[in-house]
Structures are given as C-alpha cells and as structure tokens.
Amino acid sequence: MSHIVLRCPRCGRTRPADMSTDVCRDCAAPLDVEYLDDHKPVGNSDTYEARTPVHDSSSGVSLGEGGTPCVHLKALGENLGMRRLHGKLEFLNPTGSFKDRGTAVMISVAMDHGVTELVEDSSGNAGASVSAYSARAGIKAHVFVPADAPQAKLRQIKVYGAEVHPIEGPRDAVTAAAMDYHRQHGLVYASHMLSPYFAEGTKTFAYEVAQQFDGALPDHIVFPVGNGSLFIGAFKGFCELQAAGRTDKIPRLHCVQARSVMPLVAAFTSQAWNPGTVSRTVAGGIAIAAPSRQEQILDILRQVEGTAVAVEESSIVKMQHALAEQEGIFAEPTSAAAFAGLEEIAKQGVIRENDTVLVPVTGFGLKDEVPL
Amino acid sequence: MSHIVLRCPRCGRTRPADMSTDVCRDCAAPLDVEYLDDHKPVGNSDTYEARTPVHDSSSGVSLGEGGTPCVHLKALGENLGMRRLHGKLEFLNPTGSFKDRGTAVMISVAMDHGVTELVEDSSGNAGASVSAYSARAGIKAHVFVPADAPQAKLRQIKVYGAEVHPIEGPRDAVTAAAMDYHRQHGLVYASHMLSPYFAEGTKTFAYEVAQQFDGALPDHIVFPVGNGSLFIGAFKGFCELQAAGRTDKIPRLHCVQARSVMPLVAAFTSQAWNPGTVSRTVAGGIAIAAPSRQEQILDILRQVEGTAVAVEESSIVKMQHALAEQEGIFAEPTSAAAFAGLEEIAKQGVIRENDTVLVPVTGFGLKDEVPL
C-alpha cells in the first residue's frame, strides 16, 4: 500500500496515488500529495529532512539537486534600502534552474511506477530539466514546445536526448498537443504544472532556508511566479516545518509577474487585465496567462499576508544588470523580475529597512539569449 | 606580519607575500603559497577545513563557491567498463566553472591588499569568474581576450561589468598585452595562470572529495588540463590531507589534453609535438600551448604515477553527447575531453573494472556555443 494519497486542495476529496495528472473530478483543481504515514528523510544530513512521495528513495533519480548557496546581497540591498537582503542561488541546480528540485521527485515517482516514456510541455527550464532527469533515469521523454521558443532553451532540451515536438500557435496549443499525444499513445503526462509530485519536490527549498537562516526565518521571500511551483512548494515546506515545531512562523511570501502577463496580480489586486492582450516579455519563465494552480496561489497569498506586484520590462532588464554588476550574479530575466518586484514592494512600504528578505535566483543567465 | 610567504616550487627560494605575479628570480618558475602558522578553517562545516592565504577570511569575497555535488555515473561507467565512475559537478559553481574556487581566494587576497583595479587575460571561464568576483568585491577588472573568442564567453565576461580589451593575434599576444597594460598603469596582474593564490583556492576540491568519499579516496581522478590550476590545487589539497593524517593515500591524478594542443602530453610521453602546429579545438578551455606551470604539472604526474593522454575532436564531441544523453549532464566540450581521455586511459589498462574513478565536470555546456 502506498504511503500517500492525492488530495484536492479545494474540496478535500482524495484518490489513490498514481501517475495521472487528472484534476479533481468535483472541482477541477490540480491535486496535492498527502501523507498517510510518518516522516521519511530526504537527503543525508541529520538536520535536513522532508517527507517525500518517492516510495523507495534509494532507487530514485538524482543529480545532486538542492543545497544551493545563500549569499548576502549587501550592495544591491543598500541601493534598495534594505540591510538584510539575501539571494538563494537556485540557478546552481544541475540544469541551471530550481525546476530540478521538482523534476527529481516527479521522475523518481515515475520510476516507482515503472514509467518508461513520458510527455511534458514547456518552452524552457522545465523542459530542459525533465529531459535531463529522464535521460538519467533511462526514460524516453517527449517535450512539446512552442515553435517560436528561444533557440538556446530548445538546444538545452534537445541536448539531453528528449524528442522535441514543436507546435505552432499560442502556449495553450502546446499544452493541448501534449495532452492529445499522451492520450493517443497511452503515455504518462509528466506536467510540471499539474503533477502533484513536482510541487512536492520544490518544498526542500523551505527546509534549506530554515537551515541556512538557522531557524530565524526571513521576514519576506519574493518569488517570480508563473505556474507557481516553487512558491507553492516553499509554502508547503514552511507549513511542515511549523507543524513540526521547527520554526515559529511562516515568512510572508510575495509574487512578482511581468506587467504584460499578470493573471495572478490582476486577480489578487482586482485590477483589470485581459489575457487576450498578452504581449511578449523578457521574463519568459513566468509568462503563463492561465496558471493551472491560480486559486491555490491566491489562497496562499492571503494566508501569509503576501502581495502580488507587476513589473515593467525596463525594470527587469535594469535589475538583471544590477545583479551582475553589483553582486556578480548572472540571473535570467525571469529571476531578475523578482528583484524588480522587490523594489516595488519596498516602495509600497510592505518591507522595512531592518527586515530580513530573501529572493530565490531561479535561473541562470546563461540559459537566455536576450542581448544585454 | 603575514601568515604566508611565496615559495618557488623548483629552488625553494621564498619572498614575502604580495600581489605581484612575478616568477622566481632564479629559475623563472611561478610561485606557490607556503604557510608560516597553523591551519585556518575555511567554510563553516566542522568536517571541512583548509588553510587559506586570505588574511581575514570573514572579510573576503564569496558567492558560495564549492560544495558541488558528486554523482555516480552508472550508465556511462558501464559503457566504459568501470563500475565505480563518479562525476563531481564543478560546473555548479557560481559562474558555471571550477574557476570560481581559485578566483574567490585570489580576489579575497586582493581585498586584503586594498586592490581596487586589476588586469587578467582569458578567453573564457577564468575571465568570467574574475569579472564576477571583482564586481562583487567592488574592484574594477580589465579582462584581455582574443579578438576571435567565442561570443557566448565574451558576453558572460561583459555582463558582470569588466572592461573587455579584445586583442588580435595568437593567445600569447593577449597575455603580452595584459602584462603591458598592468605595468603601464601600475595595476595588479591577477592572472589565474601565475597567481599563487588561484591554485591555492582550488585545493578545496580535494577536501570535498575526501569528505564525499568518506575518507576512502578514489583510486584515479582524471582532469582536463590546460594551465592545470585544478590539477595542481587538487594535488596540494591531497598532500595536506595526507600530512594531517586524514587520508592514507593520494589518488593517481591523470591529465587529458586535446590532440591539437598537447604540450603536457608531448613532454610527459616524449612524443613529438610542435606548438607552431596548434589548431583549433572544441575544448577551448585547455587550448594552452605553453602552460606556465608545465614543470610543476609534470612533476606531480611523476609523483602520483599519473598518465597524460591526448584525445581526438570526435571523441570529445561523442563524450559530450554521451554525458548528456546517458547521465543528464550538460558539460562543456573541455569537460567532456576528460571522459574521452578516461576511455583512452582505460584502454591502456591503467584503470581496472573495480577501481573507483572520479572526473571533475569542470564547465557548464550552456557556456559554449558549439552546435550539438
């Protein structure tokens, strides 16, 4: 018998754990993992453990993901009027983005289930990550991508050996094509957006933060949010740590989106925004017009007294330069967007000078071909 | 008074520690760091310490370099006929290469000495690393580069804000121009090839290996070698660990070079090779026709019963694909060269099926624009 079930975060209905990414039959929400048994350790340090949906963690797939450095951003913090600004360098994961935390767990569960071939859709970091971990696990991956996705991203997806399926049309058409293919061929749809295991994998972020800040958690964490897998995973991790008595609070978690693709900001702040007006943004990693876990993200924002802000293209590019030139950190535009949002949140008076602030630097600047 | 002096590895002559990169006056060899006092800890784990030339390590510059994962390469190892093949993912350092270990120490010592502006020459990873750490330390960096260096490499050097000086002609002309500039402007020449502090910084590699293999060191470590800073640093680290009674052996360290630029292989194996015949190689990171520490590298090879092998371009590209498709690791061609060399060394019978073998994966494939 499995040690987990899948639970709808909206209505609470459960079903047995499997590799389907079907949403709740009653309310159409993507499902979460729920544990039936005790904690199981992940990792080999005695101070770092998290429950995992992987049945036999010794037989899972890993490339040494996680354990990313956390560094004080003194110069940039001073310029933004905050003394305790830190960056967690999530781009130092094995394929160059935080996605590897989620992928390692999702593909390990797929191995538990004997999966040998799977389907994913992504225009970037998730596609590269699923391609890499599938290669290491000996699983054949089909990655559906927008036909106009950046060449540098496509190149990385291809290099690990995934079969790339380019699809013309809007981003939604890519997801539709991937779902068609998985149904027609009876393959697993290993979607980083819908899989309960992916967001479960990213929660190790919170465990590491608790360890790196020695229990005195940051007051604020500012995330760039598209599908929100790191945001949701971090929240889960902090909840577990608090429930276990390891920490006494949950940091305020904030969402940043690009002005041109801001469904969460619009919904959270009751601003008008028309998905039909989506325009291109340099922050491709968060250009998701209809996040499948939107309701879950908004609910978390309310619980942790977070905010959601939208930023201009020029601010994103300015912050990408500032991070590189002031701190020696080469971030993707998507990651720089979080810092642009931080500036905005500080202006709103939500963050004070002595607050401890953390920003995950989610993707490597080397991954992007935007000219600087 | 400083806790270190600089010592000639050839004649043993010493001089006070400074930021000059002048070679020994008597025998023209680049100098090494020698400690006058006791061990000083580096890092914050109680199991991981190494002496450091940094005077005040709390005031140095860091981006969280080191602490890279070590993973078992089961599939690739089986194909190469070895059961215990491991890769240490050095490309998961803050600028995407192992160079950050050396740069962090070199720039921290520069901060001890109050340096505000420096000169370096590099066509790639060292340039990016020096540019990044200088940015974080608030030091202005001038990086001299070949005018025909790959655009992707130049882009990363520029992004951190270094002033890039493109120089026409062969690689030697770039070094000559950098040295002219440092003399004319009275600036520090922070050369990753000549600085005693750079190779001293890379020795943490050995400390981590001892920790990750729990004292039972690998039998063989296979390095891609150009200037040899990781090779030399690793040897130093293993010697210190052995002297301190922490380990009972030094692994056999092997050198791999590209067939088209193989000065060390030629010198070590008494093969004919004419530097005038240097041709382009995909392994740009080890394309050094006249390594400034050649004698030191050859001496280490003899001490540890290492070998030196040269590999073909086609083998390098084949191994880059194999690493990505079989293990999910996207390495630079320079790093893939080490695996091509490993195959060659195994063919020679130097490595046996049950030997434990480690290969540092030195640079991220994202850094290179060679088509795959």
Cβ-contact B145, B164 below 8 angstroms: yes
Q: Give the DSSP H or E segment for A222.
A: strand A220-224
The answer to whether B71 faces chain A, any CB pair under 8 Å, is yes
pLDDT attached to residue A357: 98
Q: What residues of B are in contact with residue A372 (Cβ under 8 Å)? A: 155, 158-159
pLDDT tens figures, B105-158: 999 999 999 999 999 999 789 999 999 999 999 999 999 998 888 888 899 999
Q: Per the structure block, which two tokens stand in for B216?
A: 């039972």
Q: In what order do the strands lie in the sheet with A84-88?
A: A70-72, A84-88, A356-360, A220-224, A252-258, A308-311
Q: How far apart are CA A157 and CA A149, in angstroms?
A: 11
Of A64, A67, A70, the CB nearest to B71: A64
pLDDT attached to residue B308: 98
Cβ-contact A30, A293 below 8 angstroms: yes
pLDDT attached to residue B44: 41
How close, in Å, is residue B359 to chain A by CA atoms?
15
Q: What residues of B are in contact with residue A92 (Cβ under 8 Å)? A: 64, 92-94
Domains of chain B: 70-96+198-367 (3.40.50.1100), 98-196 (3.40.50.1100)
Give the chain B residue whose CA is nearest to the CA of A329.
B132
pLDDT tens figures, B246-256: 888 999 999 99
Q: Are the beta carbons of A64 and B89 separated by less than 8 Å?
A: yes
Instruction: For residue A267, give Cα distances in angstroms to A235, B38, B315.
Output: 20, 61, 54
The answer to whether B263 faces chain A, any CB pair under 8 Å, is no
> In chain A, which residues have pLDDT < 50?
39-46
Q: Are the beta carbons of A330 and B69 separated by less than 8 Å?
A: no
Q: How far apart are CA B245 and CA A125, in angstroms?
A: 45
pLDDT tens figures, B256-302: 999 999 999 999 999 988 887 777 889 988 989 899 999 999 999 99
Cβ-contact B291, B240 below 8 angstroms: no
Q: Are the beta carbons of B93 and A92 separated by less than 8 Å?
A: yes
Q: Is the dihedral of CA B88, A91, A194, A121 positive or negative?
A: negative
User: Cβ of B136: how many Cβ atoms within 10 Å?
Assistant: 24
- The proportion of chain A whose per-residue pLDDT surpasses 70, expressed as a percent, equals 95
Of A70, A136, A367, the CB nearest to B366: A367
Instruction: For residue A157, give Cα distances in angstroms to A177, A225, B15, B237.
Output: 18, 22, 52, 37
How close, in Å, is residue A95 to chain B by CA atoms?
8
Cβ-contact A40, A51 below 8 angstroms: yes
How close, in Å, is residue B186 to chain A by CA atoms?
24
The answer to whether A187 faces chain B, any CB pair under 8 Å, is no
The mean of the pLDDT values for chain A is 92
pLDDT at B47 over 80: no
pLDDT tens figures, A174-195: 999 999 999 999 999 999 999 9
Query: Which residues neighbour B100 within 8 Å (Cβ) at sequence distance 6 or greater?
Result: B63, B65, B66, B93, B94, B129, B132, B133
pLDDT attached to residue A48: 57
CA angle at A257 for the pair A256 and A262, rounded to the nearest 5°: 135
pLDDT attached to residue A195: 95
Burial zone of B357 (CB within 10 Å; 0-12 exposed, 13-18 middle, 19+ buried)? buried
Quote the ipTM score. Answer: 0.94
pTM for this model (two decimals): 0.95
How close, in Å, is residue A358 to chain B by CA atoms?
15
How close, in Å, is residue B92 to chain A by CA atoms?
5
Q: Are the beta carbons of A159 and B63 separated by less than 8 Å?
A: no
Q: Are the beta carbons of B364 and A366 separated by less than 8 Å?
A: yes
Surface of B (305-364) touching A: CB under 8 A? 321, 324-330, 364
Crossing angle for the helix pair A294-303 and A229-243, nearest 10 degrees?
A: 40
